[in-house]
Chains A and B, each alone.
Chain A
């Protein structure tokens, strides 16, 4: 069920019912402009994923850039177009530009290619306006047919327009320069737009120029996600792994433009970007072998009746014999509740080096399948839990309609469901990490923490699915524990 359907049925807007998804959790830090450093440091100590960044839409970035353009144009009394040329040439360092202007305005304009280098050595354009001859098309034309750039070079409007069209078709926008030989003065936006006639050319010009502005801005970068239009804004000095709020793509950001690494995979803490690439390649290669395990049904280990998994929770209860078991390992669920939850751990054969090649290959596949199965399973659980959330919405909707509590009374369930999503998301991405870890104490610690997180998550999932009979305090307690486990694991193992 979609939220639109929901909204038409009921008069509750999105903001009333929350509709939290995991994207909200990775994007909760508001852009705080000047940012109090003490608070930042404190927060980054508490939350290993903390990074001050924003995922902005094109319109938002345009607004942002325009503020700088306006401010510069007002303080230097120049056109917004020239302000753009200056900002682009100086990586949007507004105060720098103003300082340079005060020291030596003419050298600022020359260095920014707004004014030509004195002396003007090429006079072709200057001559032409006086004689009425455009030196590019060698046609004699009336004075109003000419346009003159800031350097004083003048050519006929048709030639300017054709020049711009050819440049734009090569992807050039902010870098379009004068047509005169050896003149490197740039054509500012208003000059170009006043001469371009075709609407599609104007549109392309503006798109390319916007891209150039974003690329020249040290705090902005385009999301590396395929077909994603979002723009990340960050002032982080250290590289931080962040997630695009729109397409959930991972990216490394920091306040520096020549940082060339782009990840472009779905956000994947605690696994690092290279390991993630290896893992996805492996999964693609081995998908055939792994396919058989990804079925949605399993037999009850006790009464052997066929059970379909219809929720995200791995704690299963057979509808026939009421046996509680684990969907992943088919073991007794009671054993999973204890201190050391071994289900998530893969036990390597210590003598594998002495076994035959065939046995080693079988063992390698077994090991891969162990991790793959859990990785896949949590990914499926995430989807199923999305459905659960929808179901909860419906239930709450019904309850509110029947005057059983108010909307506010049920908000904690949404909070719990999105916290569950966040935790399970992290848990899913612990499996590629664990797969590539060398055996040893560090891996043991990791798998211990992973197991703890997994146990708390399944407990939380169970409590949410059975929300009607779960006590609210109990649920909130469980939320707290699960999130603590998640943060602890990330703190100990998250590296960028």
Chain B
């Protein structure tokens, strides 16, 4: 395997030294491009109190290409599908090599605070979020309790 680029080393060091509040990102022991991520459900959101596991992988051409990120913990959210894939512009066409792992994780945390049912990935969830928001929020809380709380 090729040597780890200086950019990845620097980012990793900073993530460890000054972690983003509510987010932990730890590189895997055997693969420095693979991160175990835990995001705390933001306050005043239906995900409050939950701990959400994610995986983040830096592809070979990072930072020219965006990191690959996926939720491992099940989550009821209009922009996250059953497989945990995330609909977020900076992970796709709005990616810029100047963005960092840190910015990506902050954006994901923000997405939990402000779901956007008009740009859906999980269609049934987004539909309910639009027609009956209170029921959707009840579902999201229920899923958070069931999948993101006791471990």
Contact = CB atoms under 8 A, between A and B. Distances in A.
A166 B61 contact: yes
A181 interface: yes
B98 A135 contact: yes
A179 B65 CA distance: 11
Interface stretch (A136-144, A312-320, A369-377, A481-489): A136-144
Given A136-B7, A137-B7, A138-B6, A180 B96 contact: yes
Given A163-B64, A166-B64, A179 B96 contact: yes
A270 interface: no
Given A162-B64, A163-B64, A181 B6 contact: no
A174 to B, nearest CB: 15
B65 A166 contact: yes
A179 B98 contact: yes
Contact of B7 (A138, A167, A183): A138
A181 B98 contact: yes
B96 A181 contact: yes
Interface string B18-50: 000000000000000000000000000000000
Given A136-B63, A137-B6, A139-B6, A163 B98 contact: no
B58 to A, nearest CB: 13
Interface in B63-85: 63-65
Interface in A101-118: none
Contacts of B10: 138
Nearest to A178: B96
A135 B6 CA distance: 11
B99 interface: yes
Contacts of B96: 178-183
Interface in B85-115: 96-99, 103
Given A137-B5, A137-B6, A139-B6, A181 B64 contact: no
Contacts, number: 39
Contacts of B98: 122, 124-125, 135-136, 179-181
Interface residues of A, number: 21
A125 to B, nearest CB: 7
Contacts of A167: 64
Contacts of B7: 136-138
B57 to A, nearest CB: 16
A159 interface: yes
A27 B151 CA distance: 75
A179 B61 CA distance: 14
Contacts of A136: 7, 63, 97-98
B18 to A, nearest CB: 16
Given A162-B61, A166-B61, A166-B64, A179 B97 contact: yes
Nearest to B65: A166
Interface string A172-207: 000000111111000000000000000000000000
Best-surrounded residue of B5, B65, B97 (most CB of chain A within 10 A): B97
A163 B97 contact: yes
Given A166-B64, A166-B65, A181 B99 contact: yes
A180 B98 CA distance: 5
Contact of B97 (A122, A139, A159, A182): A159
Nearest to A137: B7
A388 B145 CA distance: 84
A181 B94 CA distance: 9
Nearest to A125: B98
B16 to A, nearest CB: 16
A125 B97 CA distance: 11
A180 B97 CA distance: 7
A337 B65 CA distance: 74
A168 to B, nearest CB: 11
Given A163-B97, A179-B98, A182-B96, 19 more contacts: A122-B98, A125-B98, A136-B63, A136-B98, A137-B5, A137-B7, A139-B6, A155-B97, A159-B64, A159-B97, A166-B61, A166-B65, A178-B96, A179-B96, A179-B97, A180-B96, A180-B98, A181-B99, A181-B103
11 contacts: A124-B98, A125-B98, A136-B98, A138-B6, A138-B7, A139-B6, A155-B97, A166-B65, A180-B96, A180-B98, A181-B103
The 4 tightest CB contacts between A and B, nearest first, are A166-B64, A181-B98, A179-B97, A181-B96
